[in-house]
């Protein structure tokens, strides 16, 4: 199995930056996904990292350190619509195609 740890909740103001950390313990690591889930809706794909480093995609960036078992999702220029749960999901080679999701980090954006 996998251990996935991410904060339960984070609060930030509109226009600010928030960094959501995720640590994981897996064997045969094969990439990590981040998903966004608004309340009452299905998760939507945000990013995928398989190599070390930062992947930037507009206001959202995702970072991975394979050796440290660590990833973060960076949300810049926060908007009210970014209030949602953010799910970290590492994948392993022995569970190819299956994702184990963390419990999610609820981000609350305030005016």
- Residue 74 contacts residue 60 (beta carbons within 8 Å): yes
Q: b/e per residue, 78-94, with b = 16+ CB within 10 A?
A: beeebbbbbbbbbbbee
Which one, 81 or 98, has the nearer CB to another protein?
98
Residue corresponding to tokens 């960076």:
74
CB of 27 to another protein, least distance (A): 17
Burial of 111 (0-12, 13-18, 19+ CB in 10 A): exposed
Cα radius of gyration (the chain): 13
CB of 99 to another protein, least distance (A): 6
CB of 96 to another protein, least distance (A): 7
Query: What does the binding site for another protein look like in residue numbers (CB under 8 A)?
Result: 30-31, 33, 41-45, 48, 87, 91, 96-104
Which one, 13 or 93, has the nearer CB to another protein?
93
Which one, 70 or 101, has the nearer CB to another protein?
101
CB of 65 to another protein, least distance (A): 19
Which one, 83 or 100, has the nearer CB to another protein?
100
């Amino acid at each position: 199995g996998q251990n996935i740890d991410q904060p339960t909740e984070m609060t930030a103001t509109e226009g600010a930056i928030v960094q959501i950390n995720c640590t994981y313990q897996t064997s045969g690591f094969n990439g990590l996904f981040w998903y966004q889930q608004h309340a009452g809706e299905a998760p939507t794909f945000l990013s995928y990292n398989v190599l070390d480093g930062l992947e930037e995609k507009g206001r959202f960036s995702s970072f991975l350190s394979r050796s440290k078992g660590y990833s973060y999702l960076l949300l810049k220029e926060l908007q009210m619509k970014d209030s949602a749960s953010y799910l970290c999901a590492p994948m392993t080679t022995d569970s190819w195609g299956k994702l184990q999701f963390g419990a999610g980090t609820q981000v609350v954006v305030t005016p």
